[in-house]
Amino acid sequence: MRYRTLGRTGIKVSPYALGALMFATSVGNPDPDESARIIHKALDAGINLIDTADAYRDSEDIVGRAIKGRRDNVVLATKVSMPMGDDPNQQGASRRWIVTAAENSLRRLRTDHIDLYQIHRPDPTTDIEETLSALSDLIRSGKVRAIGTSTMPASDIVEAQWVAERRGLTRFHTEQPPYSLLNRGIEREVLPTAQRHGMGTLVWGPLGQGLLTGRVRKGGPNELRRAGFFKHLGDEHRLDTVERFISLAEEAGLPLTHLAMAFAIAHPGVTSAIVGPRTMSHLDDLLGGVDVALTDDILDRIDEIVPPGTDVGTLDQAYVPPALQQTHLRRRPVSERTAAHPHAA
């Protein structure tokens, strides 16, 4: 496995990272022992970065058990900020929650440090200085080695870098955005911004949450486990685009999964692409494509199907900023919506 430097941290990571969501017994593989075997095989193949999150049910616990005795060879990443219960303070990026959540993750992972601790989703209710201050203290204590974000808009990335510099705090070292043949929106601003600030980028969803596995065809049954609650997995336009990529992969003599993964790691702004195998056969298929390098001709054909910097629809898991979620932030009061002066004759 060829390794890449994670931003400017000096940490070397594999271009494929192992995502651990599918190791949670309630939403992924129900057999923790098989999940451990998948983790071991990935490590044996040279994948050294494992990415999980406190919100992934029992995933942290399963990962922690599986890497016992191999911890020093693993770049261990986890995340915080998604709700962990009904208590409104058991979520977000406040100092109060970050410090508590980090201790909880360390306990579940059976380790004394986290190599990369990431804010799972932006928290607009918390001042970014508060978040960076808490994360900086975790680094100083030795409990965290590097910090990052996930799905953070480019403007927020820049603000966080500015605040870190002005306040003498540790800056974010990485960003984890969605990226695939179907969703290339981050090429427009997020990737160039991360590159400009020397950040590593771990992209999630390189297989389109299963649409780019070749198992879903237009007009056929959609047996993806998440299709029942993610509308974008049944979007007709996305399925039409998948058919075009299936044809391109066939012309290139590649499985669609290999085409998708090779595309994701070809961008100079991408450090690693996170794969989330649920079974050993899924991992075996992905490992079979580690030596695939796409030609400029193939990449040009991909650009014709989905132009650079564009998305085929919106992911249900995409971050939606308050300016779009809250109507009062994009609508003036009724009394102020007219161009005429209210006292005009």
pLDDT digits (tens, 9 = 90+) for 280-337: 999 999 999 999 999 999 999 999 999 999 999 888 888 989 998 899 999 999 999 9
pLDDT band at 222 (very low <50, low <70, confident <90, very high): low
Gap between the Cα atoms of 280 and 56, Å rounded? 20
pLDDT band at 233 (very low <50, low <70, confident <90, very high): low
- Determine the pLDDT at residue 342: 80
Give Cα 182 distance to the centre of its chain: 15
- The model carries a pTM of 0.94
Please list the active-site residues.
56
Helix spans in the chain (H): 32-44, 59-66, 95-109, 128-140, 154-167, 190-196, 236-252, 256-264, 280-287, 296-305, 322-325
Q: Model confidence over 187-201: pLDDT tens digits?
A: 999 999 999 999 999
